[in-house]
């Protein structure tokens, strides 16, 4: 009887941990952090491992990626259903290679966000520093990964995202503890801050998808000549619905076309068993390829997904064209 009870209890313990995942972190990862300076969630940091910096520094020029590692449910659970309207809720982004080079990027390189003030216009770059000068902020950011009670690898993932953790703000190693280690200076180097109130959405709808975003530019700060400008990697945007995106072309956060645009004539070329349709000198916005076999008004149907131009260029592919004939057009997407 006792043995049976023990086994039952053991199985219950095993099943109770189902769904709990340990967060993995590594030098060079990009961390998204949220902190509240008051109200609901002031005692908790929501931190998200967005993945290695190479995912962003190596992104295709002009591309836009939707980042699903942030779960809106975590924002609501932690900071309330009004999270998007709170001026006391801040967000920021940071990462570092730490003590050694990562993927050819030098030791003590730091990635840090800076608030974008004008839609589609880069903020002032953070200044570079010598290896010695970047050692302290690099160590401070590294503690987000591992080495302290509040480091991300000490916590299990939330029930909504395998990449997110909720860390008590009072813990050494939490986003709050490390980012505010020196009051008024983020991570003991970035003055005034890598953070921005989450409710500071632009008042214009973006060219990317027609919604307004709150944008943080991401800079790569490599060791080098003190005071030299760091390199803009791209921009992270979040809208009031909690959609998080990254693009190498921050102009996509600027205002989109307010009415119909005039497009040129697309080019078409055979590509395997299908066709590739390209169009250049395209203004910012969202566009879709449509196909018809008759050109009748109601006969046009979409082919593939909506695209935004990369450096003014659209490229669509139809891998399954109709066997006899087909007509193509590129239109603004709603």
Distance CA 186, CA 168 (A): 19
Please, are residues 186 and 165 in contact by the beta-carbon 8 Å criterion? no
Predicted local distance difference test score (pLDDT) of residue 205: 87
Predicted local distance difference test score (pLDDT) of residue 10: 35
Predicted local distance difference test score (pLDDT) of residue 216: 98
Question: In what side-by-side order are the strands of the sheet with 287-292?
Answer: 301-307, 287-292, 327-332
In order of start, what are the domains of the chain with their CATH numbers? Answer: 20-253 (no CATH), 267-332 (2.60.40)
Please, are residues 28 and 102 in contact by the beta-carbon 8 Å criterion? yes
Predicted local distance difference test score (pLDDT) of residue 288: 92
Per-residue confidence of the chain (334 residues) as pLDDT tens digits?
A: 333 333 333 333 333 333 455 789 999 999 999 999 999 999 999 999 999 999 999 999 989 999 999 999 999 999 999 999 999 999 999 999 999 999 999 999 999 999 999 999 999 999 999 999 999 999 999 999 999 999 999 999 999 999 999 999 999 999 999 999 999 999 999 999 999 999 999 999 898 888 899 999 999 999 999 999 999 999 999 999 999 999 999 999 998 766 677 788 899 999 888 999 999 888 777 889 999 999 999 999 999 988 888 767 899 999 999 988 899 999 988 6
This prediction has a pTM of 0.76
Using the structure block, give the residue that is written with the tokens 């972190």: 25
Helices (H) and strands (E) in the chain, counts: 5, 16
Predicted local distance difference test score (pLDDT) of residue 103: 95
C-alpha distance from residue 25 to each of 6, 12, 44, 68, 145 (Å): 36, 29, 19, 17, 6
Of 164, 139, 169, give the one whose Cα is nearest residue 37: 169
């Amino acid at each position: 009887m006792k043995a049976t009870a023990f086994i039952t209890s053991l199985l219950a313990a095993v099943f109770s941990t189902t769904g709990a995942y340990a967060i993995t972190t590594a030098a060079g990862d990009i961390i998204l952090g949220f902190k509240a300076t008051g109200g609901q969630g002031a005692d908790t940091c929501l931190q998200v491992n967005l993945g290695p910096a190479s995912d962003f520094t190596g992104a295709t020029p002009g591309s836009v990626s939707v980042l699903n590692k942030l779960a809106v449910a975590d924002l609501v659970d932690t900071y309330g259903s009004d999270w998007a309207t709170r001026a006391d809720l801040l967000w920021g982004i940071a990462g570092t290679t730490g003590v050694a080079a990562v993927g050819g990027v030098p030791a003590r390189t730091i990635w840090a966000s800076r608030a974008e003030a004008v839609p589609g216009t880069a903020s002032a770059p953070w200044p570079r520093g010598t290896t010695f000068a970047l050692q302290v902020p690099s160590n401070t950011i590294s503690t987000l990964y591992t080495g302290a009670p509040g480091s991300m690898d000490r916590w299990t993932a939330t029930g909504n995202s395998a990449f997110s953790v909720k860390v008590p703000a009072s813990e050494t190693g939490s986003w709050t503890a490390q980012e505010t280690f020196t009051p008024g200076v983020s991570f003991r180097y970035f003055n005034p801050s890598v953070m921005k109130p989450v409710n500071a959405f632009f008042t214009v709808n973006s060219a990317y998808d027609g919604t307004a975003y709150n944008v943080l530019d991401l800079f790569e700060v490599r060791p080098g000549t003190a005071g030299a400008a760091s390199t803009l990697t791209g921009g992270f945007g979040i809208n009031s619905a909690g959609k998080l995106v990254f693009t190498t072309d921050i102009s996509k956060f600027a205002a989109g076309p307010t009415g119909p645009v005039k497009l040129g004539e697309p080019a078409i070329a055979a590509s395997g068993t299908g066709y590739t349709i390209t169009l250049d000198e395209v203004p910012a916005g969202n566009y879709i390829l449509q196909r018809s076999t008759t050109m009748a008004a109601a006969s046009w149907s979409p082919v593939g997904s909506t695209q935004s131009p990369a450096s003014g260029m659209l490229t669509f592919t139809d891998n399954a064209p109709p066997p006899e004939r087909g007509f193509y057009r590129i239109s603004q997407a709603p």
